[in-house]
Amino acid sequence: MNLFNLIADIEKADPEVSERFNFYSRRNLLKFGSNLLAAGIPTVVAGSLNQAFAQTTSAPSQAAIDTANFALTLEYLEDEFYRTGLATAGLVPASDLAVINQISKHETAHVNLLKTTLGAAAIAKPTFKFPAGTFSTYATFLATARALEDTGVQAYKGQVGTLVNDKLILQTALQIHSVEARHASEVRRMMGMKGWVSDPTQTTFTQAGVSLKTLPNVTGITDDNFRGAFDEPLTKQQVMAIAASFL
């Protein structure tokens, strides 16, 4: 069932419905829910639609819902990863606890936010399996964190095209995307790496048809910095191939 299309249909039939969605704040959810219940729509849907309609009058497309669920899957994975790490005695050194706690807090918040945004359309948390040794040493834990964060940045980036016409979910995705980049930078630097990515297999230096290395005023800039200046995306298929080792 496509929930958002259903509501869009209701909206067509009753042009005032989006205004009413606007009017009811989350605090009025119960009252709102009971109204919907009378219309035969489960209360649980109300939260998400209330939020969606508070910001836009057009319902998210199925593609946008799928993308948000894809993001939710990654956030479930990250959230479970950091919570497990923090619950493993002696794993995270005291010196790094403030950082790991902050990241973990954000991943939990992202899960809750996406679940609220999607409402009844949200997928349930998959059962994850972490590769053997993930939580055995701090070095392995950090290396996994880096992979998850850098992949997360690439995953959100790869989805903006599918969201260009779904402003509500695009806005949320953008504001999560840069937080994942902050996480990635910090984790990389805790591992003694640079905060930015330089993939040595990247040997072409062109963005949007512009050849970067022949631009004016770039003499002396290293290939590493040409690579690092732009973060590259991954497709959903590429991300799922990486995530497969956790599923």
Partner 1 sequence: MLLLHLIYYVMNKQQNETGLTMLPGQLEPVRVGRRLFLRYAGAFAAGGAILASCKEGEENPTTVMAPVDLGTGDVGILNYAFALEQLEAAFYTQVVAKPYTGMTDAEKAILTDIRDHEIIHREFFKAAIPAASRIGDLVPNFSSINFSDRASVLGTAKAFEDLGVAAYNGAGTLITDVNYLALAGKIVSVEARHAAAIRDLLNPKSADFAGDDVVAPTTGLDAATPPSAVLPTAQKYVRTPITATNLPK
* CA atoms of 205 and 122, how far apart (whole Å): 39
CB of 53 to partner 1, least distance (A): 17
Q: Binding to partner 1 by residue 96, rule CB under 8 A? A: yes
What is the sign of the dihedral through the CA atoms of 5, 172, 101 and 90? positive
Q: Are 111 and 76 spatial neighbours (Cβ–Cβ below 8 Å)?
A: yes
The answer to whether 102 contacts partner 1 (rule: CB under 8 A) is: yes
- Taking every pair of Cα atoms in the chain, the longest distance, rounded to a whole number of angstroms, is 69
Stretch that binds partner 1, among 6-14, 35-43, 46-54, 227-235 (CB under 8 A): 227-235
Residue 28 found at the interface with partner 1 (CB under 8 A): no
- The angle subtended at Cα 126 by Cα 147 and Cα 52, nearest 5°, is 90
Phi, psi of 40 (to 5 degrees): 85, 15
> What values do phi and psi take at 129, rounded to 5?
-125, 125
Number of residues in contact with partner 1 under rule CB under 8 A: 62
- By CB under 8 A, is residue 229 in contact with partner 1? yes
Is residue 236 part of the contact set for partner 1 (CB under 8 A)?
no
Residues that bind partner 1 (CB under 8 A): 95-96, 98-99, 101-103, 105-110, 113, 153, 156-157, 160-161, 164, 167, 170-172, 174-186, 189-190, 194-196, 207-210, 212, 215-218, 221-222, 224-226, 228-233
